[in-house]
């Protein structure tokens, strides 16, 4: 048997490893939060991330003025190229560059890196477990 892929795979396990590495980085703890948005039909975590600099006073005008940016990937599980793009975006937003710091200071990024984890885990191309 022979399998072909139009893009190098990016698995649910790859995401878990990448997010765990970021969580363990002491610098990222000041602006990186990982949570569970929901559980899927198969019981897998559909995770979300919040990336923003923490303000000393969350009720300050500057903190309230931050605009939110929502980004998601892998609605269709076969589109692994979107996970590679998301990985690059997340890596950039948590980096030490002055531009990334400015983005975190001025925006709140809400990210769902894999919106259809069941489909990704089961190797589906366009659907979840519910079809």
106-115: pLDDT as tens digits: 999 999 999 9
Angle value at C-alpha 55, between 51 and 61, nearest 5 degrees: 115
Paired strand residues for 50: 33, 110
Q: Which domains does the chain have, with CATH numbers?
A: 12-122 (3.40.630.10)
pLDDT at 22 over 80: yes
pTM of model > 0.75: yes
Paired strand residues for 111: 49, 71
Q: What CA–CA distance (Å, rounded) separates 18 from 20?
A: 6
Contacts of residue 4, Cβ cutoff 8 Å, sequence gap at least 6: none
- Cα dihedral value 19, 26, 95, 73, nearest 10: 20
What percent of the chain is modeled with pLDDT above 90? 70
Among candidates 60, 36, 64, 62, which has minimal Cα distance to 50? 36
Other CB atoms within 10 Å distance of the CB of residue 10: 23
Average of pLDDT values for 10-28? 95
Contacts of residue 21, Cβ cutoff 8 Å, sequence gap at least 6: none
pLDDT at 52 over 80: yes
User: What was the pLDDT predicted at 43?
Assistant: 95
Give the pairing of strands 107-112 and 32-39.
Answer: unpaired
What band does 129 get if pLDDT is binned at 50, 70 and 90? confident
For the chain, the farthest-separated pair of C-alpha atoms sits apart, in whole angstroms, at 61
Average of pLDDT values for 106-126? 92
Average of pLDDT values for 10-36? 95
């Amino acid at each position: 048997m022979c399998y072909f892929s139009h893009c190098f795979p990016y698995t649910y396990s790859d995401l878990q490893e990448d997010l765990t590495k970021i969580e363990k980085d002491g610098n990222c703890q000041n602006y990186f939060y990982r949570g569970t948005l929901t559980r899927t039909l198969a019981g897998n975590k559909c995770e979300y991330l919040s990336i923003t600099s923490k303000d000393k006073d969350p009720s300050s005008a500057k903190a309230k003025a931050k605009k939110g940016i929502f980004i998601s990937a892998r609605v269709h599980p076969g589109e692994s190229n979107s996970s590679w793009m998301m990985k690059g975006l997340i890596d950039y937003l948590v980096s030490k560059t002055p531009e990334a710091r400015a983005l975190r200071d001025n925006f709140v990024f809400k990210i769902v890196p894999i919106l259809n984890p069941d489909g990704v885990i089961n190797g589906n191309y366009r659907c979840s477990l519910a079809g």
